[in-house]
Amino acid sequence: MRRNMKRNMNIKAKLVSILLTFFVVFNLLPTSALADASGYHYDGTTGTLTVYSNGETQNSAAWRQKSEIVNNVVTVVLDDSITSVGDGFDGLPELTTVWIGENVTGFVRPFTQCPKLVEINVSEKNAYFESVDGVLFAEDGAGNLVRLVRYPQGKPDERYEVPEDVEIIGDRAFHRCENLNVVTLPPSLKTIGDYVFMYCRMLSSINIPDSVTSIGYEAFAYSGLESVAIPDQVAAIKTNTFMAYAKLGSVEIGAGVNSIDYNAFTGCVKLEEIIVSAENESFESIDGVLYAEDGAGNLVRLVRYPQGKTGTSYVVPDGVETIGQRAFYDNNGYLTSIEFPDSVTAIETEAVYGCSQLVDVRLGDGLETIGVRAFSGAKFPRIVIPATVTSIANSAFSGNSSLKVVVAKGDTAPNLGTYVFSSSNSFVFVPVGAFGYTTENGWPASVFEGMAYLAPTPTVTFTATEPDSGTLSNVDTTMKYSVDGGSTWISVTGATMDISGVTATNGIKVKRSGNRTTTLDSEVQTITVTRRKRLQQVRQTAIPWPTMTES
């Protein structure tokens, strides 16, 4: 049976409908009415627009070109001759009431951006749609409500409970319904369409039932929710689903989610943590940061560092291979330092874009590609580009007026896009004898003050002669050394040099000093010392050069 034999319309509503039909049939229009032969008439006294041609439901309709109608229409009547409703009824600022005839079978985009609309009424003879308390629903053939089509934007209620048996919330169904504070969804619900709760800024509470399998594009964008939980049956979080949630603090991702768009959480300025179900085999959360896994449970991709996370420094875990598109995008001014491990091979488009307080970045030695605008808008004064980097895309380091020193370690210059350093006046240091750092390749371009060389890294040896002393060989007077992790650099005085004070396992560090004009200090060579009872055994490694006080 049709739900309660089609809910009885209010007697007053029936009378109004009869009167309106009467005026249409007999053209009883007052002198202020505007008439048009193309399929509509408008009563300027009552603000009633009656449409009796499918063509006049489109955005290109003749009445849409008349501002006196668009800006003042209060009531829209869709005559029984109308079968399909186009997109012509968006953006009517004074519209309060809609009457839908018995033969309407479909809508393109029903009555969005009509801020004063409070009720949508449907002829009781219509077999496809029904109005319940002014809310428009689509029916199945048995009279059951299966899809919520449109909740009137100006309806004053703060709470709404979607009726049982509804399976679909249609595209834009609650779009810009800014009076709603709480919406309750039924356990029958399967699909939440595109833009459904977009701009519902006062919406603070909603339950997404476990029955839901699909959530559409920008479904909750610009809404007021403070937290949200994605059910286990949802497989994908799509583009801008939660974009610009001004209040969203946490997100819980269910076990079934296997795809998350890079823009899913863009603009969520208060988002502090992204939580992932322990049963999810595609994603994992580490301290609130979202990662993608490979099939063996290893973290391989950093998907999203929450925009509102308050830590000032972050070290990406070893093993991660990719920093995803917009992974650190527009961090809220908290992050000042990021360190990437040697396992990272790619930093994608806008990965660290807009991190305006970022003053220290350490790139790992396995890095190969840096994407478009990857670090645009940061404030670090110096960047070391590993020798493994083969390409740097357009505007990768643009918008950073603080960047003064670029150290490119590769013997062959990486391929450079356009405007890579467009907002900096940097001095570039490259290895002696390096190839390809030319104007044609974009390196000593107008943004660079000049190019100089990175002093060669020392290859010094140490021979222990006593438990706490020994001899440095293969040194020269351009070099300096320190022992045991000390903060002071000591000048080398000859081709060999006896040193003492090697009392711990922090090792000996040696660097070749640049003149700061045509050469820059080399990388530091570290000689790790393992003490024995009498003599010491040594092992040599290299680490990034530290900041130390010259003596």
Distance CA 76, CA 97 (A): 7
Reduced to 3 states (helix: H, G, I; strand: E, B; else coil), residue 57 is helix
**Which residue type occupies 165?**
D
Q: Is residue 503, in this structure, part of any structural domain at all?
A: yes
Residues 411 and 521 in one domain: no
**Residues 371 and 472 reside in one and the same domain:** no
Tell me the C-alpha distance between 176 and 155, whole Å. 11
What pLDDT is stored for residue 404 in this prediction? 87
The SS3 assignment for 155 reads coil
pLDDT digit string, tens, across residues 334-366? 899 999 999 999 999 999 999 999 999 999 999
Q: Are residues 449 and 539 in the same domain?
A: no
Task: Tell me: do 441 and 465 sit in the same domain.
Answer: no
Q: Which pair of structure tokens corresponds to residue 38?
A: 């193309």
Instruction: Evaluate whether residue 430 is within a structural domain.
Output: yes
Residue 383 half-sphere exposure toward CB, CA atoms < 13 A? 27
Last residue of one domain, picked from the residues 454, 475, 503:
454
Q: Are strands 426-431 and 405-408 parallel, antiparallel or unpaired?
A: parallel
- CATH number for the domain harbouring residue 406: 3.80.10.10
428 inside domain: yes
b/e burial code for range 187-221 (CB count within 10 A of at least 16 → b):
ebbebbbbbbbbbbbebbebbbeeebbebbbbbbb
Q: Please check whether residues 438 and 318 belong to one and the same domain.
A: yes
Asked if 400 and 379 touch (Cβ cutoff 8 Å), the reply is yes
Q: Give yes or no: residues 379 and 482 share one domain.
A: no
State the CB neighbour count (10 A cutoff) for residue 101. 21
pLDDT 10s digits, 517-544 = 677 788 888 888 765 444 344 444 443 4
Q: To the nearest 10°, the Cα dihedral for 150, 156, 161, 165?
A: -30
Q: How far apart are the first and last CA of the chain?
A: 93
Domain boundary among the residues 389, 422, 454 is at: 454
Of 424, 427, 431, residue with least CA distance to 408:
431
CB 456 within 8 A of CB 447: no
> Which sign, positive or negative, has the C-alpha torsion 333, 337, 340, 345?
positive
CB–CB of 336/313 below 8 Å?
yes
DSSP state of 198: T
Q: Please name the residue that has the structure tokens 């070893």.
A: 318
Same domain (yes/no): 329, 348: yes
Cβ-proximal residues to 462 (8 Å cutoff; 6+ apart), any chain? 470, 471, 472, 473, 508, 527, 529, 538
Integer CA distances (angstroms), 170 to 108, 174, 175, 364, 413, in order = 11, 9, 10, 47, 53
**Structural domain containing residue 500:** 461-550
What are the percentages of helix, strand and coil residues in the chain, rounded to 5?
5, 30, 60
The closest of 489, 478, 483 to 520, measured between CA atoms, is 478
| Residue 183: inside a domain | no
For residue 107, give the amino acid letter.
F
Q: Residues 437, 331: one domain?
A: yes
Residues 496 and 404 in one domain: no
Domain final residue, candidates 429, 454, 479: 454
Asked if residues 288 and 312 have their Cβ atoms less than 8 Å apart, the reply is no
The CB density around residue 25, as the number of other CB atoms within 10 Å, is 9
Has residue 491 been placed in a domain? yes
Same-domain check for residues 407 and 497:
no
- pLDDT at position 172 is 97
Residue 332 lies in a domain: yes
Residue 335 sits in the same domain as residue 359: yes
423 and 508 housed in the same domain: no
What is the tally of structural domains in the chain? 2
Q: What's the predicted TM-score (pTM) here?
A: 0.79
Q: Which DSSP state fits 543?
A: E
Domain assignment of residue 145, yes or no: no
Where is 16: in which H helix or E strand? helix 11-26
Contacts of 351 (CB under 8 A, 6+ apart): 323, 324, 325, 326, 327, 328, 329, 371, 374, 375
Give the residue from 157, 133, 156 showing the smallest Cα distance to 148: 133
Low-confidence ranges of the chain (pLDDT < 50): 1-16, 18-36, 532-551
Q: For the chain, what is the total number of helices (H) and then of strands (E)?
A: 2, 47
Do the domain assignments include residue 43? no
